[in-house]
């Protein structure tokens, strides 16, 4: 049976629930129904779309392992994993267009991995519904608390929009630039530093390189 009204919140995630995109609408407002709790013997299937499935290597292995653990804990829920439709070298750039096209066809994924930079578009253009509306505030809070490792308070609100939770943070990426400060004592030190973001090291003074090392912004994926 293909279920369009089932969301497994504890799955894995910087994930956004897209099931709510199929809510009934009227001329002036959209109504959202809470997702009913599954019976113990009720079997359903959901689709999980992640750009990591377009990348070979550790991330795909990680997701496969997480889905295997999820299947053991929830044997009545079948999860079909897929990558976004598209041919971009970086599958993450295909995510929004892939979901939008599937929504147009009336068959969007139930859960999708999105970048935080897409949250505005996801809420206001794709009309995703909040987890608070779909599963309730208590379930959202319980998921963030976890069994042994709760989310940090500052991480819990990263997918919030207008005080509603639309996603669950999955991974944080902090680029770091390292350099050997002792090289500056050598007359030819500038020649030993590799190219930085397409610019030769000769065009970057030592102060600039130091500033890059200290002030590289945190990127959230």
Could you tell me where the beta strands, DSSP code E, fall in the chain?
Answer: 15-17, 44-49, 77-82, 111-113, 160-161, 164-165, 167-168, 172-173, 219-220
Model confidence at 220: pLDDT above 60: no
Check residue 47 and give its pLDDT: 95
Check residue 116 and give its pLDDT: 85
Q: 172: which strand partners?
A: 220
Other CB atoms within 10 Å distance of the CB of residue 72: 8
Q: 25: which strand partners?
A: 30
Of residues 3 and 54, which shows the higher confidence score? Answer: 54
Mean pLDDT of the chain: 76
What band does 81 get if pLDDT is binned at 50, 70 and 90? very high
Superfamily of domain 15-170 in CATH is Periplasmic binding protein-like II (3.40.190.10)
| Domain map (residue ranges) of the chain | 15-170, 181-220
Give yes or no for a contact between 119 and 159, defined as CB atoms under 8 angstroms apart.
Answer: yes
Tokens 């919030």 sit on residue = 160
- C-alpha span between 132 and 47 (Å, rounded): 21
Check residue 133 and give its pLDDT: 92
Check residue 195 and give its pLDDT: 58
Check residue 55 and give its pLDDT: 82
Question: What's the N-to-C CA distance of the chain in angstroms?
Answer: 33
Percent of the chain whose predicted confidence (pLDDT) is above 90: 42
The residues, ordered by sequence, that sit 6+ positions from 96 with a Cβ below 8 Å of its Cβ are: 114, 118, 121, 122, 126
pTM summary value: 0.66
Give yes or no for a contact between 50 and 57, defined as CB atoms under 8 angstroms apart.
Answer: no
Q: What is the pLDDT of residues 157-204, one digit of tens each?
A: 999 999 999 999 888 777 787 777 776 677 766 666 665 555 544 544
Check residue 78 and give its pLDDT: 95
Q: How many helices (H) and strands (E) does the chain have?
A: 7, 9
- C-alpha span between 21 and 112 (Å, rounded): 12
Model confidence at 54: pLDDT above 90: no
Q: What is the pLDDT of residues 90-148, one digit of tens each?
A: 898 999 999 999 999 999 999 999 888 899 999 999 888 899 999 999 999 999 998 88
Report the Cα 107 to chain-centroid distance in Å: 20
């Amino acid at each position: 049976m293909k279920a369009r009204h089932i969301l497994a919140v504890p799955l894995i995630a910087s994930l956004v629930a897209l099931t709510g995109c199929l809510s009934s609408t009227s001329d002036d407002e959209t109504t959202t129904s809470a997702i009913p709790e599954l019976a113990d013997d009720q079997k359903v299937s959901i689709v999980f779309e992640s750009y990591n499935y377009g990348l070979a290597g550790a991330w795909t292995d990680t997701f496969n392992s997480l889905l295997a653990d999820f299947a053991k804990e929830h044997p009545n829920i079948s999860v079909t994993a897929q990558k976004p439709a598209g041919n971009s070298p970086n599958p993450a750039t295909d995510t929004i267009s892939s979901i939008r096209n599937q929504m147009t066809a009336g068959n969007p994924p139930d859960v999708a991995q999105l970048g935080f930079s897409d949250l505005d578009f996801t809420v206001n253009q794709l009309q995703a519904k909040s987890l608070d509306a779909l599963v309730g505030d208590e379930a959202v809070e319980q998921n963030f608390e976890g069994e042994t490792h709760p989310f940090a308070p500052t991480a819990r609100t990263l997918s919030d929009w207008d005080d509603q939770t639309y996603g669950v943070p999955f991974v944080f990426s902090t680029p770091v630039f390292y350099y050997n400060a002792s090289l500056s004592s050598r007359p030819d030190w500038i020649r030993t530093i590799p190219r930085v973001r397409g610019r030769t090291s000769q065009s970057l003074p030592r102060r600039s390189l130091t500033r890059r090392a200290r002030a590289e912004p945190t990127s959230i994926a």
